[in-house]
Each structure stands twice: as structure tokens, then as C-alpha cells.
Amino acid sequence: MQIPYLDLKRINACHNLSGRLSAVLESGWYLKGKEILQFEQAFATYCHTQYCAGVGSGLDALTLILLACKEMGLVKDGNEVIIPSLTFVATIEAVLRAGLTPRLCEVNPQTCTMDADEAERLVNRRTRLLLPVQLYGCDIDRRLLDVAETHGLEVVVDAAQAHGLKHHPQVLADAYSFYPAKNLGALGDGGAVTTDNGQLDRIVRCLANYGSEEKYTHRLRGLNSRLDELQAAVLSSKLNTLDQDNRRRNHLAQRYLKEIEWQRLELDTIHPDSCVYHVFPVFTDRRDPLKDHLKNRGIETLLHYPLPVHRQEAYRSRFAEVSLPLTEQICRTELSLPIGPYLSDEEASYIIRQVNAF
């Protein structure tokens, strides 16, 4: 049996996308039309937020939220934002692009998301914002919301891996990515900002459109970051099956949890309260041999992530003093099993058998 980590062709074949794409082509209107309006409304409803603004990517969604926070006077140059080091680099890149100072935080062993106690230890008088990541599709540690309240901090969530988790009313804004491999993926790049804050929504839209609300009048210095009509049409179609897809991911995760011989193999995984299983991680000191074993039996796996942010060449000079032992251990021991929503029970059984044979 051959099982790729993720088969995007198979995911997209479940939707009649050619019809939707042709309709947009025929319409002669490719940006800021009815498809994006429709998708923004549908995604806001889905997320239980008042507003949704489609943007060019997940990185842009994060960057635009932070720039809007500056316009609103919630943060200023040099203020600190606490983020996990166990994440995709977009999280730190957005903080740096917005002219803010990232502080890297340790994660919680239960969920691999930012640890509330460790975050609280990093709070000082320059801290204004917590930016946790719903890594692997796991929800944030709710105690982070208490830490934010105690210290008067805003919370922005990197929800790029977590389409389908509930929005926390205390969170100022959630940043989504529609990179093709995400739980809700486009046929290219895309992203969205969801929020209940009307002012933030207005500023994000303005900044994403060259700082303009009225054609050829530019109130702010902005950028060009738009979700186009083709991608919006694809996403509207795929949003219809997102809950069903996430239930399938959860079913596969429950099988892995029950049927993999965790103790005998000295393996571990996450133990979340709430998760949409964008990634199903297993942790083992024999990670590389397990990866090879599965590869030789036709099963492709990935690593999330082989290096934490503070060990990446592009960022490490800023963090020479930073030591995050748990994060580093996770990067050394993590292996992601296939968990696409189309994966059959036979394929899951095969994966489980081959892991147990290791």
C-alpha cells in the first residue's frame, strides 16, 4: 500500500470545483466581487464572529491584525508579543513585520500549545499581547485568557491549523490560513481575519487594500493582500464539508489513540480537550528509525517541526540566550502520521499495523 502524507488531489476531487471555477471565469469579475462577500459572510457565521475579512495569506492575516492593533493604539513599536517557539515561522515573521518584539515561550506537554504559566513568567511592563498558536489543531490553554485578563493583555490567535475550533469571545482576532494543505485549503494562497471588533475589521480591510477605503484616497500606508474570487468560490464550496472532514479526522485520531500500542512502543502523543487534528503527532526517541520503517512500507510522514524558531538560521541570533528544553525535545522526537479526511479505514488499519510492527 502507498499512502502519501496528504493527497490534495483526492481532497479536492470530492468537490465539484471545475463548475465553480468556470462560473467565476465567465463572470469577468476577479477581485472584490460577490464570491468574496459570500465567503466572508459564510466563514464569519461558521466561526461565530461578527466579521471576517479575506486576505492574501495566513502570514498577512497575522501581520494585518498586529498592524491594526497599532493603528488602534493597543500596541506601539518595541512592545513585546509572547509567542511559542514551536510553530511555523509565519508567527514570528508577522510580529517582526509589524515592528514589535517577539518573546519566545515554552509549550505545554499535554497539547504542545503555549503554556500559560510560562507565558505569565515572561510578562513585563513592555508586554501588550499574547499570540498563542492552535498547533496541530489543538485549542489554546484557557488559562492563557486568565493571564491576559490579570495583566491587561490582548490575545490574538494563530488559527492557521485550527479551522473548526470555537472562537473565544475574549480573543481580539483569529488569523486563518487557507494554504492548500490546511483543514480548509484553497487552490493557492489565502487567509482570513475573523473578529467581533468592528474597528479592527475596518482597519484590516483598509490596510489590506493599499490603505484605501475609497478609490484613490489613501488614509493609511497599506499593502496589497486580497483573497480573490476564484479562491473564495473554492473555499465556499469546501466550507460546506469542513465539519464532516473534521469529524473524519477525529475518527481517525480516535482509532490511532485506541489501536496504536503506545506503552509497548514507548510512544506518546498530545492529550487535548479540544482538537481538529490538523496534524496527528507521535513522539519517540526513535523517531528517525520509525520514519524510515514507515517509509519502507509505503507510508509517508512529516515532521512538525524539525527546528524551533529560536534555532532557525534567520532568527537564532536574536535568541542566543533562549533555552526551551521541551520545545527542543518535541522537535527531536515528533513524527506526523497521515490523517487526511479522505483516508479510508483500511488505510488507517494499515498505518496502525505498521506502527505496531515497529
Ligand X SMILES: *Cc1c(COP(=O)(O)O)cnc(C)c1O
> Which residues of the chain form contacts with ligand X (CB under 6 A)?
57-59, 87-88, 90-91, 133, 158, 160-161, 177, 179, 189, 191
- The amino acid that residue 86 corresponds to is L
Give me the least distance between CB of 303 and ligand X, in Å please.
13
Give me the least distance between CB of 222 and ligand X, in Å please.
18
Give me the least distance between CB of 66 and ligand X, in Å please.
13
Q: Which residue has the cell 510522514?
A: 301
Which of 347, 139, 352 shows the shortest CA–CA distance to 248?
Answer: 347
Q: Are strands 217-218 and 212-214 parallel, antiparallel or unpaired?
A: antiparallel
Give me the least distance between CB of 231 and ligand X, in Å please.
11
Give me the least distance between CB of 56 and ligand X, in Å please.
8
Give me the least distance between CB of 6 and ligand X, in Å please.
13
What count of other Cβ atoms lies within 10 Å of the Cβ of residue 342?
14
- Are residues 342 and 185 in contact, defined by beta-carbon separation less than 8 angstroms? no
Nearer to ligand X, 87 or 209 (CB): 87
Q: Which residue is nearest to ligand X (CB)?
A: 58
C-alpha to C-alpha distance for 102 and 95, rounded to whole angstroms: 6
Nearer to ligand X, 290 or 305 (CB): 305
C-alpha to C-alpha distance for 87 and 4, rounded to whole angstroms: 23
- Are residues 50 and 196 in contact, defined by beta-carbon separation less than 8 angstroms? yes
- Are residues 310 and 322 in contact, defined by beta-carbon separation less than 8 angstroms? yes
Nearer to ligand X, 191 or 281 (CB): 191
Give me the least distance between CB of 61 and ligand X, in Å please.
8
Give me the least distance between CB of 330 and ligand X, in Å please.
14
C-alpha to C-alpha distance for 282 and 288, rounded to whole angstroms: 12
What count of other Cβ atoms lies within 10 Å of the Cβ of residue 324?
22
Give me the least distance between CB of 1 and ligand X, in Å please.
28
C-alpha to C-alpha distance for 60 and 55, rounded to whole angstroms: 7
Nearer to ligand X, 189 or 229 (CB): 189
Nearer to ligand X, 140 or 290 (CB): 140
Furthest CA-CA distance within the chain: 66
Nearer to ligand X, 61 or 290 (CB): 61
C-alpha to C-alpha distance for 123 and 81, rounded to whole angstroms: 9
C-alpha to C-alpha distance for 95 and 165, rounded to whole angstroms: 23
Output the CA–CA distances (angstroms, integers) from residue 187 to 5, 22, 57, 273, 279, in the order listed.
18, 14, 12, 31, 20
Nearer to ligand X, 57 or 301 (CB): 57
Nearer to ligand X, 133 or 173 (CB): 133
Nearer to ligand X, 137 or 338 (CB): 137
Contact residues for 251 (Cβ-Cβ < 8 A; gap 6+): none
Q: What angle do CA 234, 224, 219 make, to 5 degrees?
A: 130
Nearer to ligand X, 57 or 336 (CB): 57
Give me the least distance between CB of 351 and ligand X, in Å please.
22
Which of 245, 209, 251 shows the shortest CA–CA distance to 227?
Answer: 209
Which of 201, 139, 186 shows the shortest CA–CA distance to 20?
Answer: 186
